[in-house]
Amino acid sequence: MYLRSCCCSAGFGNCHSDDPAFRLTFQAKLIFLDCITVTGHSKIIKNMKKTLVILISALVSLHLNACSAGNEEAEEIKRVIDKAYIDGIQNWGDPELIRQYFVPEFVMLMLVDNEIQKLPIETWIARMESQKEADPDGPPHPASVRYLDVDVAGSAAMVKLELYRQGQRQFTDYLALYKFEEGWKIVGKTFYRH
């Protein structure tokens, strides 16, 4: 019954014939249709596979390019922090280099006795310079850094790092940066003292 309904819907003529030759022809036509269908499906599947492989390759390539660009930005941000913050502020480096990578409006926000206190960059540099005058050889225990996270979104970035002295974690710092035409600059800081 199924064969006859298929035959009629496929337009193979009289479906009600009991002629053995008709049945043989009918079965051959169905096998032929199945072959076309399977062949057609396999071609479609092959084309879908090719398209899928191309799409996946393109997406992976885009992702790798984005990651590469993100990694390059993250490395540049780390270089800025190493020069201006670690070697500069923390290890009493060159004040002009510090000014190059900190915006003049930079403020460190400190939580002291449940109140926010602000430390502008020029005040911080002045403190560092007075420490440097008292001990020209640099800090007795130079600072080192461990980067925990560098999160970049376009021209904005937030860096979480740990500051160490003598192998002991002293601070967890959160530095905010913006990318200007001349490059990344540090615009703000909060921290936790351990």
Residue 61: per-residue pLDDT: 57
Task: Report yes or no: 80 and 184 within 8 Å, Cβ to Cβ.
Answer: yes
- Encode the chain in three state secondary structure: CHHHHHHHHHCCCCCCCCCHHHHHHHHHHHHHHHHHHHHHHHHHHHHHHHHHHHHHHHHHHHHHHHHHHHHHHHHHHHHHHHHHHHHHHHCCCCHHHHHHHEEEEEEEEEEECCEEEEEEHHHHHHHHHHHHHHCCCCCCCCEEEEEEEEEEECCEEEEEEEEEECCEEEEEEEEEEEEECCEEEEEEEEEEEC
Pick the more confident residue, 186 or 5: 186
**pLDDT top residue among 20 and 190:** 190
Contact 159, 81 (CB under 8 A): yes
Q: What is the dihedral of CA 125, 127, 128, 134, to 10 degrees?
A: 150
Q: Which residue has the higher pLDDT, 134 or 14?
A: 134
| Mean pLDDT over each residue of the chain, to the nearest integer | 83
Q: 106 or 58, which is more confident?
A: 106
Over residues 103-136, the pLDDT tens digits come to 999 999 999 999 999 999 999 999 999 999 999 8
Which domains are present in the chain? 1-194 (3.10.450.50)
Phi, psi of 181 (to 5 degrees): -55, -35
- Of 34-43, 78-87, 170-179, least confident by mean pLDDT is 34-43
Whether 187 contacts 178, CB under 8 Å: yes
Please enumerate in sequence order all residues whose Cβ is within 8 A of that of 106, keeping only pairs 6 or more positions apart, or say none: 120, 121, 186, 187, 188, 189
